[in-house]
Structure 1
């Protein structure tokens, strides 16, 4: 998987579509806010993929949407539907000049590159990324790190209808028909199948969760966290932490949710 993503930075990971390169981002500006170490290093080149149809968009980005679902528990179907809608299947004016697939504005604290674009108002500030992968990762971080979206992460990870309604209720979009548009795209293109594929290898959980091993809460991975540090904090062994979260390696991503013991003395 990682080799495919690393190769995609240059070639499109098996895709025949054209990838165009532009000048690097201005010196001193980052193309994305602190991407986790599981993404390839940003080369500084602006890489844009020519997409010919919604179906091609789905084929191109389904794998990374599933990768984000495994790490952040955002349904791949929702990520793909939002990308299709917000980016005009990757070919909208804003996306062509920023690789911003989710219409995320700069907001306070954004230190990366940006571009202005007329949206709800003239000349609004939108985040700019050197590669679509960083837009998908920033979308995951954006949703998982803001308290107003917190209730969405208590939903079952295949509840795309609940996610669609919850995004609108939390203020992601001003369009009153936003949920219906997302649900329509998901069901038209059968995007829920990508959720089902992920759930074949993923534990469904809410916090707290009762499973055969005991009762667990969740821990959201922060910058600097390691499996060893988390295991010590919650009175667990690294092997136990890996087992109950079905981890195949010790690599962690910022914002990732892990099951941890609920009966520990951690405060």
Structure 2
């Protein structure tokens, strides 16, 4: 995603596949407009160097350490964990990353290399089995300053409501879903009422293939009815690819 499928300037001219900025880097550099104009990014001789440095970057930063307690195949947890740790400024980073992984079935490669990490995962599972039930909570993240969790393939609105001592009725209301809606793995579940507008940093969203107004409202933590009103849309209308959606 950071490399625009290997076609970005940073990738083509600098072999930088992850958009890592210079920070304390003393190697070759390349300059590119990002959050600010003419920012400094790391430049590598080979693509492999970029991948190795990216791994070292994550391992050496304390803010990412909690991610290494996740299973190596938990790409949903990693995506939201990276966003929560400040890896990306895009509020929709986690959802976009998950979408790409699932669209191209990239998680199949986790199974291919599972043997490399199986011993660590087995230890993690043993630790989990010996934890008191009261400690087996979902990781809590924030979107638009609202607490949320990411659903697993065994979750339901009832189970998450019970875990956080909420009523299922209120939890469904917070997430703009009816009583018959079922959770899917990777769904965002807010633990309190969403806001009427996105944060100041997010003013518009350009609709991408496969996106819905409901999905957009969940990514940015906006009440669905507010999103319709902000854009003067009838409740029967759906999102169109390329459509500019106002977020505040």
Query: TM-score w.r.t. structure 2 length?
Result: 0.48
Higher relative contact order, chain-length normalized (CA < 8 Å, sep 6+): 1
Which has the greater radius of gyration? 2
